[in-house]
Amino acid sequence: MKQIKTRHLHPNDTGLATAAALLNAGALVAFPTETVYGLGADARNGQAVAGIYAAKGRPSFNPLIVHVPDVDAAQALVQWSDTADRLASVFWPGALTLVLPLAPGHGLSSLVTAGLETVAVRVPHHPTAQALLRAANMPVAAPSANVSGRISPTTAAHVLDGLSGRIAAVLDDGPCPVGVESTILSLAGTPTLLRPGGLPVEAIEAALNGPVSHHAGDAITAPGQLASHYAPGATVRLNATEAAEGEVMLGFGPVTGDLTLSASGDLVEAAAALFDSLHQLDRMGKPIAVAPIPNTGLGAAINDRLNRAAAPR
């Protein structure tokens, strides 16, 4: 694709106004959320949304999350429900994406939903994301701001490493505090976990007073379900207790390494460090061994990302 100059914007009044104007003009702007940096475009503008797929090299059958500033804006796009209301009252704004049936007259580009009759929608908590959404005054489609299938970005530098020259601007507000993508829950029927993420499923089940189903099958019904995803250039070996010859090691808890997600075994700290650690190790140009991670709480999201990073490509 044609190279353009990517602007590096700061989260002040001038930077936010510039970013909002670019979105309204149909351009692509990367911006921080509490989870990862998103690559935003006007979700109503098919040409702008097509630009996301082109910039990322993303398959067009992989749907996008629409970001809005509040529940009222979400209700304009989807068929709301009592269950959605209960979860939104507890977890929005925050790291939960809800998949709901499209509302009549939603106005979204069909590219956003990849032709599905549902859409994934989220109200982010990050103050800069909130300020941008309100300034732009539109639903913003925004997958992670990285080349498709590669490591997700948790800093503006990560965004520029992969997308500089492909997007109009990045709005830089430092590292993302959560560090893994949002949890995706389908409410188009029985509540079903489609992707573990920054909100532990245990918290959702507590809010619903019961268990949620887990997605089964190969059909792509939400972002982040490709078998190979979040991957570094190097190969990844999981559940390693030490590095083999020629490998670099990503440690956790008592298993030390060249880098460590959390020496104390803190899963919140590990989630925040995951993608930046993979970026750093990938630059070393060697295969990556990863220590075992408990599969509870945020560990489920970390292991989901690591399993996809290690999947055959």
Q: What are phi and psi of 101, to 5 degrees?
A: -65, 145
Looking at residue 259, what is its pLDDT? 97
CB 108 within 8 A of CB 66: yes
User: Does the structural domain 236-310 have CATH classification 3.30.499.10?
Assistant: no
Whether the predicted pLDDT of 226 surpasses 60: no
The count of residues in the chain is 313
In CATH, the number for domain 7-214 is 3.90.870.10
- Rounded to the nearest integer, the mean pLDDT of the chain is 92
Distance CA 305, CA 313 (A): 14
pLDDT over 70 (residue 217): no
pTM value is 0.87
- Mean pLDDT computed over 153-174: 97
| SS3 at position 223 | coil
| Radius of gyration, alpha carbons of the chain | 19
Q: What is the residue extent of each domain of the chain?
A: 7-214, 236-310
Q: What is the pLDDT of residues 84-117, one digit of tens each?
A: 999 999 999 999 999 999 999 999 998 898 878 9
Task: List pLDDT tens digits, range 191-211.
Answer: 999 999 999 999 999 999 999
Task: Label residue 216 by pLDDT band (50, 70, 90).
Answer: low
Q: In the predicted model, what is the mean pLDDT of residues 74-89? A: 97
Question: What is the rounded average pLDDT of the residues 250-267?
Answer: 96
Angstrom distance (rounded) from CA 277 to CA 260: 8
Which residue did the predictor score with more confidence, 127 or 61?
127
